[in-house]
Amino acid sequence: MSVIYSKTQTGVFLEVSTAHLKKQDAQWLDLQAIAGEFSNWTVAKYPEGYFVVVPAELNDQAEINSGTFEHVPIRVLQHWLMADKAGCRIIRYDRDVEPYPDLDRYEW
């Protein structure tokens, strides 16, 4: 699967359509954005979607085994892995981004 990414002045980020999120995934991202510095994850919400920082711990097997990612929705974790593989540290979820044909789509 080829990934869509954008290069800006602040770096390279993976673009993912919000159509690849279930409603409960978006609700989880909302909670992380509201929690701000009290969340383990960096999420910023904007009207069309979210900016999400891919955690560096994703490459740490000890962190994975410790349950650090236990409450992360599986689709978000899948997108983090896609971003990491593409060398991106940020995901831009946006409703206007073209969905990937190989990923499931959800309506909500």
pLDDT digits (tens, 9 = 90+) for 55-82: 887 776 667 677 778 889 989 998 988 8
Q: Return mean pLDDT, the chain.
A: 86
Residue percentage of the chain with pLDDT more than 90: 52
Q: How many residues does the chain have?
A: 108
- In degrees rounded to 5, what are phi and psi of residue 53? -85, 130
Alpha-carbon span 30 to 16, nearest angstrom: 16
